[in-house]
Amino acid sequence: MNTDLIPALDAAGMPGPPWLFHFLLVFTFFLHLIFMNLTLGGTLMAFVANLRGGGRTADPNAVLAKRLMGVNTYAISLAITTGVAPLLFVQVLYQQYFYSGTILLGWIWFNMLVLLMIGYYAAYLHKKFRGPWLGVSALTFFGIAMTHVAVHLIHVQPEKWARFDANALAVLGDPTYWPRLLHFVLAAITFAALVAAWWAVRRARAGVDVEVNTAIAATAWRWGLWSTVLIMVDGFILLGVLPKPVLLGVMRGGLATLGPLTISILFGVGLLMMLARAKNPVENPGLVSGTLAALTLTIAVMTVTRHQVRVLYLDPFTSQFHPTIVPQWGNFILFALLLVAGLATVFWMIRRVLTSPAEGDEAA
Amino acid sequence: MDYPIWNVAMGGGVLMAWVAITHVIVSHFAIGGGLIIVITETLAVKRSDPELRELARRSSLVLILVSTVFGAISGVGIWVVAGLISPGAISALIHNYVWGWAIEWVFFILEIVAALVYYTTWDKISKGAHLLVGWLYFIGAYFSLVVINGIITFMLTPGGWLESHAFWDGFFNPTYWPSLVLRTGIVVLMAVAFMLWPAFKASPDRRPDLVRYLGWWFLGGVFVSYAGYRWWEAVLPDTVTALFLGEAPTLAGLAATRSFTLWSLTLGLAVTVVALLLAPKLARGLTAILLMVGAFGFFGGYERLREGTRKPFLIHSHLFSNGLLVSQIDEINARGIAAHSGWVAAGDPAPEAFGGRIFVAQCASCHTIDGYQSIREALPTVADMELVAADQPSGMGAVHYREQCSRCHGDIEYQEMAEMMPTLEEIREDPEFIRELNLGMITMTLVELRDMGEEFADFEPGKQFDMRTLDRSYMPPFVGTEEEVEALALYLASLDRGETDVVATGGEK
């Protein structure tokens, strides 16, 4: 493969073994996906539910929209926070490709920040003033998804950089672009839907607004079912349009690549069966929690597959570069310890908060 | 330098400046706000003072709306823009300091989660638990600074790292501690500048109290940051301070920045003493604005000074801001920039177009064509020559000469030049000849810039360089072969013909 346009490796070398960065990249990206799914899927769903609720505050659809947007206040911030880490690690492993991809997109990539800002504040404005803000928010988040899929497809295909340099939007014509985008967007919707269903079931079982919560659970469950059906169809299309060498790579990769892929397909089928089984999710809370857990696992496994596909796309190029490795083990260990301590502190704090209700006169 | 180039008309540096300025103001506010808000709440609980508590609560709304999102997005923005305009440089930083950033990320998680919880749980949980969340927020925020401060100061004074390339040698570099003290003061200044607004909303009888309370904070912030600033100056290598201190500072602009920085702080101090401490009843919106001007001026001035003294490096004495490593100079001079970067090599092989791509790869990170640090302005043109030669009305020739020529002809007086250069008639008769003359000047300038690169070999390796010994200490050297010098010169000379954007990046077919 011609590597002329690919920048040199960084002279400083890699501050740890590549496998460590691969692991951290995949792991933190998975964390990011959880909150990204809530943000993107939740906002898209809230937008539709809000329309269907037609402004009647007691309508289950309206309550669902309100709830999803309530979660969003936190989900957006956490999506950004968890997004920082994969952004950092991708720059260690793939800086030659990643920066090149972002530069070829130029303003489009920069504008992602602008969209993020608009999306967040529009969500806030929606809560205050209603109006068109929810639609604005949904649109901007969708735009961010489009940007990410674009930068991904550009950075993994250096052989096409000259073409993208002439016209970055040519990436929209990449056969995998739309199936790939849809795959992520639908998964986001499924995840947000199942979280909403799970919460509504819990509320209903606890005897809070049973009627509304039962209706919400049923609606959200249907969202989950139908978007999973679409994901399965779209997933096979995506597999079919992958470039030949990449698809062959997946097929010939043995257990390492076929394992995760098979597991996620089986999980997908399993999810469909679970989703189709319950007509009224409130009657079957165990199934609901199980389905949400299975979905989360599927996302985790799919994150691995996604990464393997990137590795295969880039293999003809990366195999021609041999980074020197200058491990900083001490610093890694410090990071790992602090990460554990930091997360423990966060959990401890949240527990403290949940178990310390305001006393008497303090309660508002 | 071997990356594709994002060609922004406004200049990548200008865009970076905007993103970075917003980010540092908001992020320092987020830290200082955390500190003052949680201490204020602690005091309010102790003294059972609902107005004081209200101040903390109102400020925490600003904190969450502005800092957790705007601060976080603009922080990501710095990476995004750096990756777009100087990918090689940011890559080098990340490959050395990724674990530093990873550790900062841990504190960032704590900061953000605590901020969200703190804001949502006012009056919903016990006061003790709420205070705890507030303190955890501050710890997370402050330790982000403790970490990132190591990386920022490393860039200006890499210290022992230049020799050892060891993480901690660079992290705890000579300016680490002074800078931490200075920034600790600054976070307080930023926070007070914002918190005055919610304080104004308190009931009229308590307002003066709260204003004076914030005044004490600001006063403390002024002293801490002034002490930190002087300490910072004291530990900077002489070769760096000489750029902006003393009788004849090398960079007069930076010396002015330094005065501006200190006068801004003085303004902040004066406003505080008069309108916040002595007569808090007088404090109005205008007071807050003046205070903001003082605080932002001081902070902005200091940041400008730090950046200005670091130029043209991203990591002093190691890596230039256009991504060129000091250690690469000889190799690229020998093999050529085209051999180094596929993006420069690919595309129209005509010398002028080739030169355009060299410009983009080496110069465009600082120079735009017509905007900020315009290259067209910096180069001699036929029109410039005419103005100088015409001397109309009498005396203007010298003025034009000073503006257009003396940056390269500092050693030649106007009179001397007037005798040496072609007359107005000669210029009008044969502008082509003048173009040739200008091309010669540009070529010679590039040759000088290329020769400058060889002087880096004379510096003592492993030590911070004394850039004052260089003629153009504000610029990286030009690197490339002689043929590439000619191509770039042809391109630069062609700018005088009015083509605005002949720059074609590589790969275009």
> What are the structural domain ranges in chain A?
16-174, 176-314
Substitution target from B119, B343, B357 for chain A, most A beta carbons within 10 A: B343
B62 touches A at CB < 8 Å:
no
Handedness of CA A221, A226, A232, A237 (dihedral sign): negative
Which pLDDT tens digit goes with each residue over A20-54? 999 999 999 999 999 999 999 999 999 999 999 88
- φ, ψ of residue A14 to 5 degrees: the values are -100, 125
Residue B500 has pLDDT above 70, yes or no: no
The size of the A-B interface in CB pairs under 8 A is: 212
Nearest by CB to B342, from A5, A109, A332: name it: A5
| Structural contact between residues B183 and B146, judged by C-beta atoms closer than 8 angstroms | no
Asked if B344 contacts B358 with a C-beta cutoff of 8 angstroms, the reply is yes
Confidence class of residue A1 from pLDDT cuts 50, 70 and 90?
Answer: low
Helix (H, G, I), strand (E, B) or coil at B256: helix
Return the H-helix or E-strand segment holding B319.
strand B319-320
Confidence of residue B239 (pLDDT cuts 50, 70, 90): confident
pLDDT of residue B66: 80
Q: And the tokens for B295?
A: 């605080």
State the average pLDDT over residues A187-200. 97
**Contact (CB, 8 A) for A308 and A259:** no
Cα separation, A4 vs B342, in Å, equals 5
Inter-chain CB proximity A109 and B84 less than 8 Å: yes
In this structure, which long-range contacts are made by residues B50-59, counting pairs with CB atoms below 8 Å and at least 24 apart in sequence?
B51/B202, B51/B203, B51/B206, B51/B209, B51/B210, B52/B210, B52/B213, B54/B202, B55/B195, B55/B198, B55/B199, B55/B202, B55/B210, B57/B122, B58/B198, B58/B201, B59/B33, B59/B194, B59/B195, B59/B198
Q: Taking residues B111-133, what's their average pLDDT? A: 93
Residue A133 has pLDDT above 90, yes or no: yes
Provide the token pair at B51.
Answer: 């107005």
What's the pLDDT score for residue B379? 95
C-beta of residue B136 within 8 angstroms of C-beta of residue A341:
no
Mean pLDDT of B369-373: 87
Nearest CA in chain B to A330: B99
Output the pLDDT for position B475. 93
Contact check, Cβ <8 Å, B99/A332: yes
Give the tens place of pLDDT for each residue, A302-347.
Answer: 999 999 999 999 999 999 999 999 999 999 999 999 999 999 999 9
pLDDT digits (tens, 9 = 90+) for B411-428: 999 999 989 999 999 999
Confidence at B82, pLDDT banded by 50, 70, 90: very high
**Is B80 in Cβ contact with A113 (below 8 Å)?**
yes
In this model, does residue B169 exceed pLDDT 70?
A: yes
Q: How far is B427 from chain A (nearest CA, A)?
A: 41
Distance from CA of A162 to the nearest CA of B (A): 5
Q: What is the structure's pLDDT at A145? A: 98
Maximum separation of any 2 CA atoms in chain A, in Å? 73
Tell me which chain B residues have a C-beta less than 8 angstroms from the C-beta of A80.
Answer: 69, 72-73, 76
pLDDT over threshold 80, residue B64:
no
- Bridge-based pairing of strands B319-320 and B313-315 is antiparallel
Classify the C-alpha dihedral A229-A234-A236-A237 as positive or negative: positive
Average pLDDT, integer, range B445-469? 91
- Does residue A148 surpass a pLDDT of 60? yes
Chain B residue at shortest CA distance from A7: B2
Q: What is the pLDDT of residue B247?
A: 80
Residue of chain A with shortest Cα separation from B1: A7
Tokens 């004394």 — which residue?
B466
Q: Say whether A85 and B102 touch across the interface (CB within 8 A).
A: yes
- Residue B509's pLDDT band, with cuts at 50, 70 and 90, is very low
pLDDT category at A364 given cuts 50, 70, 90 is very low
State the number of CA atoms in the 13 A half-sphere of A278 facing the CB: 28
pLDDT single digits (tens) A149-181? 999 999 999 999 999 999 999 999 999 999 999
Average pLDDT over residues B5-31: 88
Distance from CA of B341 to the nearest CA of A (A): 7
Element (H, E) at A69: helix A60-93
Contact A205, A282 (CB under 8 A): yes
Q: How large is the greatest C-alpha to C-alpha distance in chain B, in angstroms?
A: 88
Q: What is the pLDDT of residues A258-313, one digit of tens each?
A: 999 999 999 999 999 999 988 889 999 999 999 999 999 999 999 999 999 999 99
CB contact (8 A) between residue A77 and residue B116: yes
Q: B72 to chain A: which residues are within 8 Å by CB?
A: 77, 80-81, 84
Q: Which amino acid is at A67?
A: R
Residue with tokens 């997933």: A235
CA distances for B77 relative to B73, B81, B87, B93, B455, angstroms: 6, 6, 14, 16, 36
Cβ atoms of B230 and B181 closer than 8 Å: no
Q: Which amino acid belongs to residue B294?
A: G
Q: What is the pLDDT of residues B354-367, one digit of tens each?
A: 999 999 999 988 89
Q: In chain B, which among 477-506 make CB contacts under 8 A with chain A? A: 505-506
Average pLDDT over residues A184-189: 98
Q: Which two tokens stand for residue B256?
A: 């002015």
In this predicted model, what pLDDT tens digit does every residue of A102-122 receive, in sequence order?
Answer: 999 999 999 999 999 999 999
CB-CB under 8 Å, A14 with B106: no
Considering the entire predicted model, what is its pTM?
0.93
Distance from CA of A4 to the nearest CA of B (A): 5
CA distances from B501 to A21, A23, B375, B382 (A): 41, 44, 12, 19
Residue that the structure tokens 């011609």 belong to: A2
What are the start-end ranges of the E strands in B242-282?
none
- Residues of chain A positioned with their CB less than 8 A from the CB of B128: 356
The pLDDT mean for chain A works out to 94
- More confident call, A29 vs B5: A29
pLDDT of residue B54: 93
pLDDT digits (tens, 9 = 90+) for B302-347: 999 999 999 899 999 999 988 899 999 999 999 999 999 999 998 8
* pLDDT band at A219; cut points 50, 70, 90: very high
Taking 90 as the threshold, does the pLDDT of residue B468 lie above it? no
**Interface membership of B45 toward A (CB under 8 Å):** no
What one-character-per-residue DSSP string does A315-343 give?
HHHHTT----B---HHHHHHHHHHHHHHH
Q: Please list every residue in chain A whose beta carbon sits closer than 8 Å to the beta carbon of residue B508.
A: 162, 165-166
Q: Say which residue the tokens 């979280």 belong to.
A: A195
Burial class (CB in 10 A: 0-12, 13-18, 19+), B417: middle
User: At A56, is the pLDDT very low, low, confident or very high (cuts 50, 70, 90)?
Assistant: confident
Contact B80 A112 (CB under 8 A): yes
Instruction: State how far the Cα of A345 lies from the Cα of A353, in Å rounded to an integer.
Output: 12
Evaluate the omega torsion of the peptide bond into residue B249 and state whether it is cis, within 30 degrees of 0. no
pLDDT for residue A270: 93
Q: What is the C-alpha separation between A313 and A103, in angstroms, rounded?
A: 19
Query: Which tokens sit at B440?
Result: 């010669």
* Burial of residue A222, with CB atoms counted within 10 A of its CB: 0-12 exposed, 13-18 middle, 19 or more buried: middle
Q: Identify from A9, A118, A164, A331 which residue to disrupt to test chain B contact, counting B C-beta atoms within 10 A and taking the largest count.
A: A331
Q: Which of A12, A80, A359 sits opposite B96 (nearest CB)?
A: A12
pLDDT at B297: 96
Residue A238 has pLDDT above 50, yes or no: yes
Helix (H) or strand (E) holding B188: helix B176-200
**Interface check B345 vs A, CB under 8 A:** yes
Q: Do B72 and A100 touch (CB under 8 A)?
A: no
The reported pLDDT for the residue numbered A169 is 95
**B100 CA to chain A: closest CA distance, Å?**
8
Distance separating alpha carbons of residues B310 and B294, to the nearest angstrom: 24
Residue B314 DSSP SS3: strand
B212 token code pair: 């004076």
Q: Give contacts of A109 with chain B, Cβ < 8 Å.
A: 80, 84
Q: Do B83 and A99 touch (CB under 8 A)?
A: yes
pLDDT score recorded for residue A165: 92
**Contact by Cβ (8 Å): B388, B397:** yes
| pLDDT recorded at residue A360 | 57
User: Which tens digits make up the pLDDT trace of B276-305?
Assistant: 999 999 888 999 999 999 999 999 999 999
- Interval A222-226 mean pLDDT: 96
Residues within 8 A of A (CB atoms), B 414-453 only: none
B273: amino acid identity, one letter: V
Q: Is residue B327 within 8 angstroms of chain A, CB to CB? A: yes
Name the pLDDT band for B506 (thresholds 50, 70, 90). very low
Say how far apart CA A166 and CA B201 lie, in whole Å: 55
